[in-house]
């Protein structure tokens, strides 16, 4: 793996360790990935609690119009269904691939190729990481390995943030209970 990609992994690991704010961490990861791969942009999406929608986690290099184009429904996106089953998917030209849910919007954004990898956390897929190219591009094995490493780090960061939030809420509830029971 190139020194540039190793350095990016190091920077992303530092970012993951420096914050428990998922949106801040995901936006920073999207920027680092986009820069390291010299890509048009990167988008991280996370499954909702019902696992029917992919919600925005963080993005970089894409317009607000494209980022807000509409919901990504797992049932309507064959591409994301494949990735959520644990497979990495590359598409050479999204304009000619019927697995892509928003081909018209992608064309208007100037997106041609993409790669999507699953975000893994504790042996389950919790989201997807997409990297977009503005030109026809074949992603190398090295880049695929890099993206899978980043997706695993991202999944771990999200799980840690969720556990922290749950523990914090449980602590607040315990404090409220103690206040009500022992202060009255």
> Is 70 exceeded by the pLDDT of residue 184?
no
Mean of pLDDT values over 141-166: 89
| Proportion of the chain above pLDDT 70, given as a percent | 99
Task: Quote the CATH superfamily of domain 1-182.
Answer: GAF domain (3.30.450.40)
- CA dihedral over 35, 36, 37, 42, signed as positive or negative: negative
Task: Please give the full DSSP string across 77-113, using - where no structure is assigned.
Answer: -HHHHHHHTT--EEES-GGG-TT-S-HHHHHHHT--E
105-142 pLDDT per residue, tens: 888 999 999 999 999 988 899 999 999 999 999 999 99
Instruction: Determine whether 3 is exposed, middle or buried from the number of CB atoms within 10 Å of its CB (0-12, 13-18, 19+).
Output: exposed
Mean of pLDDT values over 89-110: 88
Query: Using 50, 70 and 90 to split pLDDT, how confident is the model at 166?
Result: confident
Q: Give the chain's end-to-end CA distance (angstroms, integer).
A: 63
CB 147 within 8 A of CB 129: yes
pLDDT attached to residue 112: 94
Rounded Cα gap, residues 46 and 27, in angstroms: 13
């Amino acid at each position: 793996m190139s020194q540039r990609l190793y350095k990016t992994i190091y920077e992303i690991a530092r970012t993951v360790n420096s914050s428990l704010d998922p949106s801040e961490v995901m936006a920073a990861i999207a920027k680092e990935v986009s820069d390291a791969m010299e890509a048009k942009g990167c988008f991280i999406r996370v499954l909702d609690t019902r696992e029917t929608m992919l919600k925005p986690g963080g993005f970089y290099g894409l317009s607000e119009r494209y980022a807000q184009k509409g919901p990504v429904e797992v049932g309507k996106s064959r591409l994301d269904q494949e990735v959520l089953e644990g497979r990495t998917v590359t598409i050479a030209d999204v304009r000619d691939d019927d697995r892509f849910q928003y081909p018209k919007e992608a064309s208007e954004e100037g997106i041609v190729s993409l790669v999507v990898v699953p975000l893994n956390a504790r042996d389950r897929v919790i989201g997807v990481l997409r990297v977009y190219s503005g030109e026809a591009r074949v992603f190398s094995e090295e880049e695929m390995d890099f993206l899978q490493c980043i997706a695993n780090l991202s999944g771990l960061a999200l799980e840690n943030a969720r556990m922290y939030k749950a523990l914090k809420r449980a602590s607040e509830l315990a404090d409220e209970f103690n206040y009500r029971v022992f202060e009255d």
